[in-house]
Amino acid sequence: MAAQTLAQKLIARACQRETVAVGEIVTCDVDLAMFHDSSGPRRLKPMLEKMNAQIWDKSKVVLVMDHYVPEEDDDSRRILKIARDWAREQQLPHVYDSIGICHVVLPQKGHLRPGMFCVGGDSHSPTGGAFGTYMFGIGSTEMLGVVVTGKIWVKTPTTISMQWSGRLTPGVTAKDMMLHMIGLYGTNGANYGAVEFSGSAVSALPMQERMTLSNMSAELGAQVGLIAPDQTTMDYLRAIGVDIEIDLNHWKTDEDADREIRAFDASQLAPMVAAPHSPENVHSVEDFNDVDIQIAYIGACTGAKLEDLRAAAQVLKGQRVDPRVRLMVAPATMRDQQDAQKEGIMDILVGAGAQVFATSCGACSGYGNALAGASNVISSTARNFKGRMGSVDTNVYLASPYTVAASALTGRIADPRAILAEAK
C-alpha cells in the first residue's frame, strides 16, 4: 500500500478508501459541521426554507453563539434572535450560547477527536487539526450543501511538514512559532494545502498551544493545520470525559510519504511581532522597542485560552500596568476563565490593572468598537488587517500573551524575557 501523509489518511477514511492520491478529488462524509451566530442560521435558515430541505443529521451539527455576544445594539440582538429561535425550532442538541469562542468551545465540549473529518463556518476552523482532525473553514453556500447532504468534495492536498526541533525557551510560545513561519512564507505560503506540525518542540506543547499552531495555519494560507495525535492528545480527551481508544500508530504520516519538509530550531526562536497591517509583516520583538502602545489586548482563540492567561499572569504577577495603557482581557471561554480564577490567575490580571471582558470573539472581529481612539494596539489575536479590529485608524501589532503583557507594563512593545528574568 502506498505511503500516506496524515492528511491523506484522514481523507481516505472520510471517503471509505484505503488510500487517496495527492491531487485526487473525492467526496467525503462529514462527521461534524460547526457554525456560529454570524455564519450560521441567519444565512442557512432562508436557504433551507427556499429549498424545503432538512438538516441531514442534527446530532452532527454544533451551533455556537460567540460573535455578536453580549448584545450591544439592535443588529446583534436581531442576529442572535434568529440563531436562538432557529436552534429551538430545529431542536438542535448541541447549542452553546455565550460561553466562549467556537474554536475553543468545540474541543472543550468533547466534539473533536483523532480521525474525524469536519467543517466549520469560520476561517479559523483548522484549529481542529490539533486533535488529528481534518477540519477546515467553508462559506455559507458550501455549508448549505453539507447541512443537507452530510457530504463535501475535497481535492487531496500536498503536505508541508513543519518540523520543529529543540524546545522553546521561557517567554516564547506557539504564537511566536506561527508568526515566524508566516513571516517567512507569507499569508499564501501553503497554497491551500495541508500543513503538518511535528518535532520535539511540537510534542512538548500542551494541547491549547497546539491549537494556536493549527488555528493560525489559516494565516499561512493552508486548508488544514494538522498535528498527529499522541499521549498528550489522549490525556486531554480523557480529562474532558472522552474515553475512546485511538490507534495512534495509524494517525500519523508514514515515514516515506511524499511531503515537503521545512526544518526549524525552536531553541533559537525569539518573541516575534507582526506589524501593521498584515500577519506576514513579522520581525523580532527587539525591532519594535520604540513603539508606544495605548491598548494591550489579550483575547481571541489564539491568545486567551487558559495557557495564554497563565503566560500573561507570569509577566504581570506583583506588577501594575503603565498608567497610559489600557489592558483588556477577554478569556476564550467561561471554562478557561473559571479555571484561571481557581488558579488565582484572574486575580493577578485584575490586580495588575486589567479590565475583564466577555468570553466572546469581541474586539478580534471588530465587535463593539472597543479599540476606538487608540493609535497603537498590541494584541494576542490572529489578524491585523486594516480595520479588522474595528477602527481603520488603529495600528494593530500581533504578539504572544507574554509579549502583550510585557508591553502593557512598559507602555511600549517589550521583550517579555527580560521581565521574566527579573522576576526569578
Domains of the chain, by residue range, sit at: 6-265, 273-423
pLDDT score recorded for residue 392: 75
Look up residue 240 and give its three cell numbers.
474532558
The pLDDT tens digits along the chain (424 residues) read 899 999 999 999 999 999 999 999 999 999 999 999 888 999 999 999 999 999 999 999 999 998 888 888 888 899 999 999 999 999 999 999 999 999 999 999 999 999 999 999 999 999 999 999 999 999 999 999 999 999 999 999 999 999 999 999 999 999 999 999 999 999 999 999 999 999 999 999 999 999 999 999 999 999 999 999 999 999 999 999 999 999 999 999 999 999 999 999 999 999 999 999 899 999 999 999 999 999 999 999 899 999 999 999 999 999 999 999 999 999 999 999 999 999 999 999 999 999 998 787 776 666 556 666 668 999 999 888 666 666 777 899 999 999 999 999 999 999 999 999 987 6
The pTM for the full model equals 0.95
Give the CA angle between residues 354, 422, 398 to the nearest 5°. Answer: 50
pLDDT score recorded for residue 110: 96
User: Which homologous superfamily does the CATH classification assign to the domain defined by 6-265?
Assistant: Aconitase, domain 3 (3.30.499.10)
* Domain 273-423 fold: Aconitase; domain 3 (3.30.499)
In a 10 Å sphere around its CB, with 0-12 CB exposed, 13-18 middle and 19+ buried, how is residue 135 labelled? buried
pLDDT score recorded for residue 70: 86
Backbone angles phi, psi at 295, to 5 degrees: -130, 135
pLDDT score recorded for residue 373: 67
126, HSE (Cβ side, Cα atoms, 13 Å): 28
Question: Angle 207-215/174-185 helices, nearest 10 degrees?
Answer: 20
pLDDT score recorded for residue 391: 72
pLDDT score recorded for residue 128: 98
Q: Cβ–Cβ contacts within 10 Å for residue 158, how many? A: 17
List, in sequence order, every beta strand (DSSP E) within 142-206.
151-155, 159-165, 194-198
Could you identify the residue written with the cell 520581525?
283
Q: Do domains 6-265 and 273-423 have the same CATH topology?
A: yes
DSSP secondary-structure letter at 333? B
By DSSP bridging, strand 159-165 and strand 295-298 are unpaired
Alpha-carbon Rg of the chain, whole angstroms? 21
Whether the Cβ atoms of residue 63 and residue 95 lie closer than 8 Å to each other: yes
Backbone angles phi, psi at 20, to 5 degrees: -135, 150
Q: Could you tell me which of 304, 297, 248, 305 has the C-alpha nearest to residue 398?
A: 297
In a 10 Å sphere around its CB, with 0-12 CB exposed, 13-18 middle and 19+ buried, how is residue 282 labelled? buried
